[in-house]
Amino acid sequence: MPPDNLIDGRAIAREVHAETESRVAALKEAGVEPSLVFIRVGEDPASRVYVGMKERTAAKLGIRSETTVLPEDTPESTLLKLLGKLNADSSVHGILVQAPLPRHIDETTVFSTVSPAKDVDGFHPVNAGKLMLGEGGGFVPCTPGGVHELLIRSGVTIEGAEVVILGRGNIVGKPMAAILCQKNKHANATVTLCHSRSRDVAAHCRRADIIVAAMGVAGFVKVDMVKPGATVIDVGVNRIDDPAAEKGYRLIGDVDFAAVQPVAGKITPNPGGVGPMTIAMLMRNTVRAAEQQTGEVTR
């Protein structure tokens, strides 16, 4: 029998979706249809898949969504103008510009142009700043927010835990560290943020009660880097060539899952762990954006 230590992201996402659906129903009863606009620039294959999954989930939950696809060579100014229009449109509650953007477009400029009130990605400097300051009321980025929710709902003790985060990106690593070190219930962790210049990452990992792997290196976390009983969260999505696979590639995480699962206390499968939670948090952020913008706050 394999150890029953899986953190089922799909099941936990369904719990979050059920909560979101009841908030959508309350909004609709008050005459508000929550709405989310996706913007995709170019035809990055992964972005097409991700935006498609987000669209389908929004539809299932009763959130109206619309996707604008701009050509790869769209000038930055055109994208900024479109964002200005969406910011001013009171029928749009959430705006998501899918990353990565083409190289000639500056992501920081784009994310800073989305109204903080509609920034359901939590990437605007105002929302990033609120998270750093421990101020409530802002939007928390969806992937680290989803990891936090997975830990809480799986009963993992975060308070006082040694947490090692692998990867210092703005989308996952940095906000993850900010979430877990807050002076708050379900936080108060001792956080180590490792990155490409860190010395002896394995030694840091071996001390960890919780490892969050988000550096984008396939199978990086090996069994000898994991303390027996530790919780291991795999955020990685890496495409590796596989001639035997139908598409010629397959997706694997940052954790050597087969070797690590038997020693981990709890572990996310990948797929089926963090991914569904990212989408669940996006939907929850969108409903909150709609509640806040219309004064129909239910929580």
Residues with a catalytic annotation lie at 54, 98, 121
Q: Which of 234, 207, 206 is nearest to 220 (CA)?
A: 234
User: Interacting stretch for ligand GUN, rule CB under 6 A, among 69-77, 93-101, 189-197, 223-231?
Assistant: 93-101
Strands 210-213 and 266-267: unpaired
Binding segment toward ligand GUN, per CB under 6 A, in 91-99, 162-170, 185-193, 214-222 = 91-99
Q: Which is nearer to ligand GUN, 80 or 99 (CB)?
A: 99
- Contact between 143 and ligand GUN (CB under 6 A)? yes
What does the alpha-carbon distance between residue 269 and residue 6 come to, in Å, rounded to a whole number? 7
Residue 70's nearest CA partner among 81, 78, 59 is 78
Binding of residue 79 to ligand GUN (CB under 6 A)? no
| Minimum distance of ligand GUN from residue 210's CB (angstroms) | 21
Q: How far apart are CA 215 and CA 218, in angstroms?
A: 9
* Site for ligand GUN contains 101 (CB under 6 A): no
Token pair of 283, please? 């939907």
Give me the least distance between CB of 15 and ligand GUN, in Å please. Answer: 20
Tell me how many residues contact ligand GUN (CB under 6 A).
9
Q: Which long-range contacts (CB under 8 A, 24 or more apart) does 19-23 make?
A: 19/284, 20/61, 20/280, 20/283, 20/284, 20/287, 21/61, 21/62, 23/287, 23/291, 23/298, 23/299
Q: Is 179 in the site for ligand GUN (CB under 6 A)?
A: no
Based on the shown chain and the rule CB under 6 A, indicate whether residue 171 belongs to the binding site for ligand GUN.
Answer: yes
Rounded to an integer, what distance in angstroms lies between the CA atom of residue 122 and that of residue 140? 5
Nearer to ligand GUN, 63 or 97 (CB): 97
Question: How far lies 23's CA from each of 33, 82, 89, in Å?
Answer: 11, 29, 22
Residue 142 binding ligand GUN, by CB under 6 A: yes
Query: Per the omega criterion (within 30 degrees of 0), is the bond before 100 cis?
Result: yes
Least distance (Å) between residue 100 CB and ligand GUN: 7
Based on the shown chain and the rule CB under 6 A, indicate whether residue 99 belongs to the binding site for ligand GUN: yes
Shortest Å, Cβ 188 to ligand GUN:
25
Q: Footprint of ligand GUN on this chain (CB under 6 A)?
A: 96-99, 121, 142-143, 171, 278
